[in-house]
Structure 1
Amino acid sequence: MANGFIRLARALALTDGESGAADFIRSGYGPYAPELAVLEKAITGTGDIDNPGNAALQGVAVDFMGLVRRRAVFGLIRDALGGALRSMRANAPVLVQTSGATGAFVGEALVIPISDAGFKAERYPAHKAAGMLVVTEELARVLGDDADAKLNRDLGDAVAEVVNDKFCSFDAPTSVAPGGIFYGATEVTATGNLAGDAAALIGAFQGDLARSAFILNPQTAATLNALGLDQMGAAGGYLMGVAAVTTTSVPVDFLGLVDVSRVGLIDEGFGLEVARHASISVANAQGPTSLINLWANNLRALRALWFVNWVVLDPAAVLWTQDSGAVGAALKAVGA
């Protein structure tokens, strides 16, 4: 149901517990509102609201989940290629190749040399990516369907942004968060111009280009269009015949190339948490971080959780380069 996820969050934020939230939904949206199924499971102890295994919750959150997944970089890649990253289950054993097999020319009737391909079994959990939205109680009470849609987008954008920033990073994996796909990836020497950088990545790439995508900043993509690559634009397209997606989670002058068939994705679904009495840390651009008590300030915090993880299964699947000043030089060359 459209905006059901945020409507459920508002009901929980404005009332005391699941029973009060069920009364709120029933009085405002009728006895057959789908959000009631989620709350009834919570009341009877058969389905926690923060549990991605709660099928009723996933049904209510279907529009929210679609929004977030479409905004995620790997969702953009799925749409561009018509295929997603390799699907994996949380904590299921995955066979990861650590070294490849080798071949040799062999003379007639001679022993064929063999080598062992190296493998190891790994298990990967689903990590918790969270996006939070803080609203006043008064605002939460007067919101209608139009405002629900806006809050749905804002909260979805927050979750997608934190996932994209981590996915496109060079961060090492930790016990609470995945590593960036560019962590440990091979850097290709920059050529001094954007088209040359893309060609260099393609030339050095060992993955399957038919299942691969460039990742770049929208400004970089728009600059390539200005240079005459008409299939590229700020929203992505094709770069030298290879699918390309754009995100502000990578810097300008950066180009990454990823074979997504060699990247595993764990997507266990979404959960919901609501707070009325907690204290939250708020970053203030004008000064130091401050601690705000929700109850004292008549605020409500709505938090969406995405249980997700990813892993690069083959180091050769990812290459990158960064050509400092290449975008500025290109724009100057075309007179922009």
Structure 2
Amino acid sequence: MTERLSPVPPRHILAAARRLERSGLVRRTPTEQSRPLSARLGADVYQKLEIFQPTGSFKPRGSANKILRLRDEEPDAFRRGFVAASAGNHGLGVSHAASALGARATLVVPRTVSPAKLEALWRYPVELIVSVGNYDVAEAEGRKLAKERGLVFISPYNDPDVIAGAGTVGLEVLEDLSEVDAILVPVGGGGLIAGIALWVKAVAPRVRIIGVQSDAYPAMQASLAAGQLVTAADKPSLADGLAGNIEAGSITFDLCRRFVDDVVLVTEEEIAEAIRYFVREEQLLVEGSGAVGAAALLAGKIDPGRLGTARPKIVDVVTGRNIAEARLRDIMAMPAAPAPPAD
């Protein structure tokens, strides 16, 4: 059913996995058990560590898959070049793939872009434009620029090739672990969770796919609750990579309605606590967008006891590490949040 009805058939995810493996542009990241979280929760908690990708996040999977496919199948489009709008990580993914393959790329980033991500973007041979507005404004500017110049716009989420590339995360998880009860996925525009859900529901439909967003910018969660796309307020968030509304007509919304089991929200304080947890307990550097799954687990937003097995196996997709030094320093200096009450 997934193959017949989806704009991104599972075979496209398998093709993306093969394409990316041949290219060498992305890494097969480890899926490792977190002993601290497993001990706390009475479950087997694993982390899919996308922080070890070359750009520090999962984003090259989608952008590289898009650029590689166009190079092989639509060479005229490849030669003209690409435009992307990004809060940082998607831009780094596009820059990484474009520079490695000799393609031209223009990036539009919001005025609120993380200094760490902006500094990393400057290292690539790309045209970089800092928008005067937020992410939604930057995305509109990027699409306008692509149309004016006749270039290919690479959406960070609303693109079948990007979704297929992101879906390779789910493919690797199920290859690494024989049994999985739930996969936690950070959600912004929905490209990552849509790709993972498409593959997982086709191969292991009983696995629950649970999205996690900050309550500062709950665009997908609010839209799913309303049954239609709604606009979320523009609030600052430690999970800056998940900020932004979902563009009208995005294929990710319908895919999430059909294949995602739930989306939960975490507070900014809970995200900060999760970032501190990763540093102190796991010795890992994780940005806010990548820490939301752990935030949900630590705050008791997901009950392992309701996953249907005595000791469930949970995978948290840890999506990125690109956090500014000053922000990390401030977060580490904040007082720890109180632990949730015991049942």
**Normalised TM-score (structure 1):** 0.25
Higher relative contact order (CA 8 A, sep 6+): 1
Q: Which has the higher strand share?
A: 1
Q: Which has the higher helix share?
A: 2
Structure ID, larger Rg: 1
